Structure 1
């Protein structure tokens, strides 16, 4: 396995070196490695893209191509599926940034990401001098509806209050946004490091940009979703983080497509027999909903925003719930709002 990885990295370096032999355009702001499923089984393509913009708050930057490797595609053979491919390309990019011949040229960009063209974009590098506020002001993407990011800024400001050193938290965005016909209602999900847990927050159920809804008191649906996942010795931590993002997107889809409205002290009974974790081995199969105690309700220029936190629950626990009072009772009995995939049921 060691020799295979070393050989793969050597081939990746040769491909990327050939592209970077010629200087990148002077106006290059971002680098995106587009991933494709090729026609042959287990084969995946990687295309190099240089972009004229980079914006952590809007993954449309990845579509602002000013240079492309076009038909010069790097091919990966991987029999373990798309997630394994994402993990492999992540490792190759990170290794190149440490050891590659033209690593400095890449590091001079504001940011670097990768993703399948119909999936989420993962950011692997941001320049220490990257100024998201400047990028926001300079961005011309969808200017009529996105020239004001006050809703997004308000959420970031609140989480920066809780996690003051985390200016650029881990972030997963969508390549094709909901308003442009994409499948994911949330524009993005940020993950803050809470020490013993990861704290997720969604961006998209409230009005991120200009005020569009008629109700001036409430921003969008009035709330964003949060989730706290206990850190553990996961076989694949990245898979678990992305799995939580998929859960949040699925629940947001219930809101945007089915018209579901969630409130504190409600519960979500999925009826599934497998766990909510990526490995589907946890005893937790559904959720209760509470007001996230770590963050405060916001009064933004677009209206009020609250934060509804999901907490993983076992099937036995969920079957005892019927009222808001019962949800509040079991939450108090649980004694924590951090979801622990390995905990045992408190109800038998």
Structure 2
């Protein structure tokens, strides 16, 4: 699938996950619990997207967790965070997915900024077109996946497409509002994307760089 990526990411502000809100947060809490169970520690950083999903933002927020040798990002907002949507099938929470991204760790102890913008750009495509990435699907960004050069936080790279796989260690969870599948976006080159159309996404990812048996995004490899 070809997607228009000549857009700027939504405004991102430093924030903390919601606490003591009047609305219940069981959907949000289920996502956080899955990530904490996997990494054993709270998020390294959380950002909010202004002005929020209720006012047109593609996501409510995103967090990044320290996975040791890589950074693990997760979105909040494609599923129902605060309460069930009466217009959505009760067995599925919202769009039925949240996005993740695993990015190799560099020499800097701080997680890179650009994934926060790119997961929001992907979420915007879901909301605007109804396209829901499934395991094995691909999205041709037609430009660097970091948003370079229009994203000030982006870095130059030859990775210009995303492949999507179920984030294995997270998989699918059941929240009070329905099921949520964690779909991992993996950065690939145009040549690798073409190879995936000739074989399968899984076959190509299997021979690309991995960390602990998991596909990761490394902008510096291309």
- TM-score normalised to structure 2 length: 0.83
Picking from 49, 60, 80, the partner of 1:187 is 60
Change (3 A) 1:168 1:263: closer
Picking from 208, 216, 219, the partner of 2:90 is 216
Runs of 4+ in 1 over 6 A off after TM superposition: none
Picking from 124, 127, 148, the partner of 1:253 is 124
Bigger shift: residues 195-204 or 205-214: 205-214
Q: Which structure's relative contact order is higher, taking Cα pairs within 8 Å and 6+ residues apart?
A: 2
Change (3 A) 1:279 1:171: closer
Q: Is the 8 A contact 2:70 2:103 kept in 1?
A: yes
Change (3 A) 1:283 1:153: same
Aligned residues, how many? 203
Picking from 276, 291, 295, the partner of 2:166 is 291
Residue aligning to 1:173: 48
Does residue 1:227 correspond to 2:101, yes or no? yes
Residue aligning to 1:196: 69
Residue aligning to 2:3: none
Larger relative helix fraction = 1
Does residue 1:312 correspond to 2:187, yes or no? yes
Does residue 1:122 correspond to 2:6, yes or no? no
Picking from 206, 213, 219, the partner of 1:332 is 206
C-alpha separation in 2, matches of 1:275 and 1:199: 16
Give the superposed CA RMSD.
Answer: 2.3
Listed one character per residue, the Cα deviations across residues 91-139 of structure 1 (whole Å, up to 9, x for unaligned) are xxxxxxxxxxxxxxxxxxxxxxxxxxx832214xx8xxxxx78x42xx3
Q: Is the 8 A contact 2:53 2:77 kept in 1?
A: no
- TM-score normalised to structure 1 length: 0.54
Structure with bigger gyration radius = 1
